[in-house]
């Protein structure tokens, strides 16, 4: 299993949590190492454009597409990592990985939410929409969020993307998705204590 190191995010926290539950992950940006991975974690915080440019500059786009789209290796996107799986983002102009038919949009202020603080920071509940192995034995969960943007799945075209959960911050937004071997969470499991530990354990052991 590898955690993709593209110079964005607190990947050491994810590696440390995996180690606590008895699983070692290789933190790498070496395409050859990624090519041999049986599972991939794509985490990240920060700007969409910068994330995609870092992946491109490190020559990781080809190997990631091969592993995820052709080899169907399980991949977990975390926060920005999940957003990069989309086609595009309002945050920038660089195209995303386009693994899922969705775009990334900023939280909407309106007359109803004039006092809305952005980013959304802190603990929040999940409302499960579908059953998934990712949430096995996770009941009444609370996860830690830190984000200004969220997914908007394209409803006009047929898509196999499943919304696993939503959360509420002034309005409901997508907090976890699954599409075949592709999984994504908007929250930070590495900051979510026992709930995050169990989620990562499920990803490693059940997929």
Is residue 190 annotated as part of the catalytic site, yes or no? yes
Asked whether 202 and 135 are in contact (CB, 8 A), the reply is yes
- Which one of the listed residues 79, 86, 150, 178 is annotated catalytic? 79
Q: Write out the H or E segment, with its range, that includes residue 31.
A: helix 31-35
Asked whether 110 and 152 are in contact (CB, 8 A), the reply is no
23 vs 205: CA distance, rounded Å: 9
125 vs 167: CA distance, rounded Å: 6
Asked whether 150 and 116 are in contact (CB, 8 A), the reply is no
Q: Write out the H or E segment, with its range, that includes residue 124.
A: strand 120-125
- Which one of the listed residues 86, 147, 178, 188 is annotated catalytic? 188
Catalytic residues: 79, 188, 190
């Amino acid at each position: 299993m590898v955690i993709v190191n593209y110079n964005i995010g607190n990947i050491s926290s994810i590696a440390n949590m995996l180690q606590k539950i008895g699983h070692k992950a290789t933190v790498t940006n070496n395409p050859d190492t990624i090519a041999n991975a049986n599972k991939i974690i794509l985490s990240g915080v920060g700007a969409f454009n910068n994330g995609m440019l870092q992946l491109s500059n490190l020559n990781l786009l080809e190997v990631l597409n091969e592993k995820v789209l052709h080899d169907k290796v399980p991949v977990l996107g975390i926060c920005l990592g999940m957003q990069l799986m989309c086609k595009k983002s309002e945050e920038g102009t660089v195209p995303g990985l386009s693994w899922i038919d969705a775009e990334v949009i900023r939280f909407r202020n309106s007359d109803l939410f004039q006092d809305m603080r952005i980013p959304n920071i802190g603990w929040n509940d999940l409302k499960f929409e579908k059953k998934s192995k990712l949430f096995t034995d996770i009941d009444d969960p609370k996860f830690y969020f830190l984000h200004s943007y969220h997914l908007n799945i394209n409803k006009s075209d047929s898509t196999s993307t499943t919304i696993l959960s939503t959360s509420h911050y002034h309005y409901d937004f997508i907090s976890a998705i699954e599409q075949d071997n592709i999984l994504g969470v908007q929250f930070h499991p590495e900051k979510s204590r026992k709930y995050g530990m169990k989620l990562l354990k499920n990803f490693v052991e059940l997929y």
